[in-house]
Structures are given as structure tokens and as C-alpha cells.
Amino acid sequence: MNNWIAVYTKSRHEQVVVNELNKINIKSYCPMFKERRQWSDRKKWVHFPLFRSYVFANIELKDNIYILKTIGVNSIVKFQNKISIIPDQVIENIKNIIEGGFKVEKADYFIKGDEGVVTSGPLKGLDGIVLDLKGDSKIIMKIALLGYGKMGKEIEKIAVSRGNEIVLKIGADNLDDLTQENLSKADVAIEFSTPDTAYLNIQLCFKSNVPVVVGTTGWLDKMDDCVNQTKAGAGLFYASNFSVGVNVFFELNKKLAELMSPHDGYKVEMEEIHHTEKLDAPSGTAITLAEGIFEKNLTKKSWVNEPTESVDKLGIISKRIDKVPGTHVVTYENEIDEIYIKHTAHNRKGFALGAVLASEFMNGKSGFYGMSDLLGL
């Protein structure tokens, strides 16, 4: 059964989304109104979307992934983490208003700081806080932080600075607060806990219909199970490292592996250095780098967390040193010369910003995503 839903688009992408949906035979509707504007030499009627950055789509709810993958789409409007269905009559009423020539006027009903929930109409169920009244309002995304250590606190600073609200913070001293009821208050969760708790936290997010961004490493033996659940409607974004620079480094690593692949005389090895509080070794970033090498260098089949002379294994040397920046070095060496690439993270800010950008990307989404989806790499 098809239902009307509201689709939140990128700024000035309403018609782009309509055109893209038409290409995949999804019925859509972007109500427009016209307004007389004064130009330098004349007045002219100009058409504008009635609901800026929103269009309507008519689909079976199980097919929402096709909407989320459409160019220009940010998210689908939800209420309590369920897709909001717009009654057919509401769409018909909008069409009647537009086609009947009724004048559409803007009106301000709120003051700065007001909290509100849209109770009817195409945006039914959307809740948030009024930030400003300069002709625009901004809906705050509600975030749950699962893991409130140094990284969690850095993420909180950036998320709040971007206008988001932290509705749940789970650290070692309040684990009992991590309930389905509390989690369901969030639009998206960011998971930076421990390798032992990450999988269970992800499962609770899935059960609560809350998309989750995961940066915890050391639990990847259960990744396939989580990815399979996203095919049934769960939302998961995983990255071993959220830094934009590191993800460019990943691509550089693949390119170097491809260039070096024909040259058998070079031994490739990796070193990763982290602070003593990092629990897993090798790091998730190192494992991602190793996978990039395996993709381009068919000689290497697996990694070991120690130096090795094995032809088909990649040695990863892990060092844990107090108060050092996270560092990854990939080295190719023979008796003639040495080639290496290196990335050093001077602080957590780049990592935290990437996690917040990922959470904003995941708001309203289902499916499995990574940094390549976010950055378009």
C-alpha cells in the first residue's frame, strides 16, 4: 500500500528531488505558490515551493531506502522514529488551496526558545526548538551519546555548536539510563563506548528504531550481523576513523598499494601508535588501511599484529605510549630505498566533527553507510 510521506531536501533542491524521483517512477508532489517580485525595471511573478526544502512522495514504506538514496534528499520526516504518514486528504487539501488560487501568507507564531511539535499537516510529528526569527527557523536534531569519555565530550561541543541538542549522555557512571525509552527520544545515536559494549548498544538502537553512528572498534566480528539487519530497515553508519584527513589517507593508501603491486622486491609494513587508554590493537584505522592494501595487492591475504617475513601476511606493529597523537605509517622498503606515507592526528576535533556530520547525514535514514557515502569518495 502506498502512502504519502514528507521528504526533507537540501536547500533549493526541491525540484531536483522531484525530477530524480520521477526518473525511478516514484510519484511526488512539490506544491508551489507564486509571488509578485519587484525587479529593477519591472514586476514579475515568481514561483516558490510552498514548503521550502520539503517535497511529498507516494511510496510503500518498505521502499523508503530509494528515497534516501535520491540526489538532493537529506532525510524523511519521522515522529518517534517512525516515518510520518500524511493522509491523502491533506495532500488533496493542499492541491485545492494552490489550484483554487487562495493567497498564501507567512505568519510568525513562535518566539525564540519555544519548543513545539507540528500536530497536523505535511510536517506532522516534527519537533524542535525555535532558534531564531529572521524569517527562518531551524529544527534541532536530538542526539544520544553512547560513550561520554574524552571523545564523547568533544563530540558534544561540536554537536551543540552546530545547533543540535544532546538528549542522552551515557557514561560509566549512568549505564542504567541506557534504556529503550530514553534512547527513543533521540533522532540519532553516536556510539563511542568500548569493544565489549558496542554491539549490545547497536542492537538497542536498532530495537528503538534510532539510526546509529558507530566509531567504536574491536567488535567487527559481529559486523555482518549488523549489516544484515540494516537490510530490514535499521540504520547504521560505521567508520574506523571519522577524520576527513584520514579518509583521504585511506584513498592515498589504496593508490600507493596499486602502484607498488607490480614491484615484488618491496616489503610493506604498517605501524600504528596510540595513547595507552586505547583498548584494542591493532586500531580500526590500521585494519581499514590493511584492507585497502589487500584490495590492490593480491599477494597479501591477511594481517598479523606483529612483524612478519611471511609473503602473504601484512605485519602491523602496534605501540601504546602515554600522551601521543594517533599516528599511522605505511612503509614500502627494499635494499635500495624506502617509501612511506604517514598520518598524524594532532587532536580529536577532526574525528569528532566527522562523527557529528555523519549523525546529521543519518538523521531519518535506514541502511548501511560509511565515510565514502558522506564524503562522496
C-alpha to C-alpha distance for 303 and 270, rounded to whole angstroms: 10
Please give the grid coordinates belonging to residue 222: 559481529
Q: Is the peptide bond before 282 cis (omega within 30 degrees of 0)?
A: yes
DSSP 139: P
Lowest mean pLDDT among 74-83, 168-177, 182-191: 74-83
User: Is 27 annotated as catalytic?
Assistant: no
C-alpha to C-alpha distance for 108 and 2, rounded to whole angstroms: 34
User: Is 274 annotated as catalytic?
Assistant: yes
Q: Which residues of 310-338 are buried (b: 16+ CB within 10 A; e: fewer)?
A: eeeebbbbbeeeeeeebbbbbebeeeeee
- The residue annotated as part of the active site, out of 13, 142, 274, 328, is 274
Rounded-to-10 torsion of CA 158, 319, 337, 250: -30
Percent with pLDDT over 90 in the chain: 51
E-only strand ranges, 113-203: 115-117, 127-129, 142-146, 165-170, 188-191
What is the reported pLDDT for 321?
A: 92
Beta strand pairing call for 188-191 and 235-238: unpaired
E-only strand ranges, 296-355: 302-304, 313-320, 326-333, 338-345
Percent with pLDDT over 70 in the chain: 86
C-alpha to C-alpha distance for 44 and 47, rounded to whole angstroms: 10
Other CB atoms closer than 10 Å to residue 205's CB: what's the count? 27
- Which residue pairs from 117-122 have beta carbons closer than 8 angstroms and sit at least 24 positions apart in sequence? 120/90, 121/90, 122/6, 122/51, 122/54, 122/56, 122/86, 122/90, 122/91, 122/94
> Residue 155 pLDDT more than 60?
yes
C-alpha to C-alpha distance for 208 and 67, rounded to whole angstroms: 22
- Report helix, strand or coil for 147: coil
Max Cα-Cα span within the chain: 82
> Residue 277 pLDDT more than 50?
yes
For each of the domains in the chain, give its residue range(s) and CATH number, in order of start. 3-107 (3.30.70.940), 142-242+350-371 (3.40.50.720), 244-348 (3.30.360.10)
- The residue annotated as part of the active site, out of 153, 169, 278, 313, is 278
Contact predicate 14/54, CB 8 Å: yes
What is the reported pLDDT for 175?
A: 93
The top-scoring range by mean pLDDT among 96-100, 238-242, 265-269 is 265-269
Per-residue pLDDT tens digits for 290-333? 999 999 988 899 999 999 999 999 999 999 998 888 899 999 99
319: phi then psi, degrees, rounded to nearest 5: -125, 140
Q: Which of 231, 201, 203 is nearest to 368 (CA)?
A: 231
> Residue 135 pLDDT more than 50?
no
Mean pLDDT value of segment 185-200:
94
What is the reported pLDDT for 108?
A: 45
- What single-letter amino acid sits at 19? N
Average pLDDT, the chain: 86
Taking the alpha carbons at both ends of the chain, their separation in whole angstroms is 36
Total-model pTM: 0.55
159: phi then psi, degrees, rounded to nearest 5: -60, -45
What is the reported pLDDT for 325?
A: 86
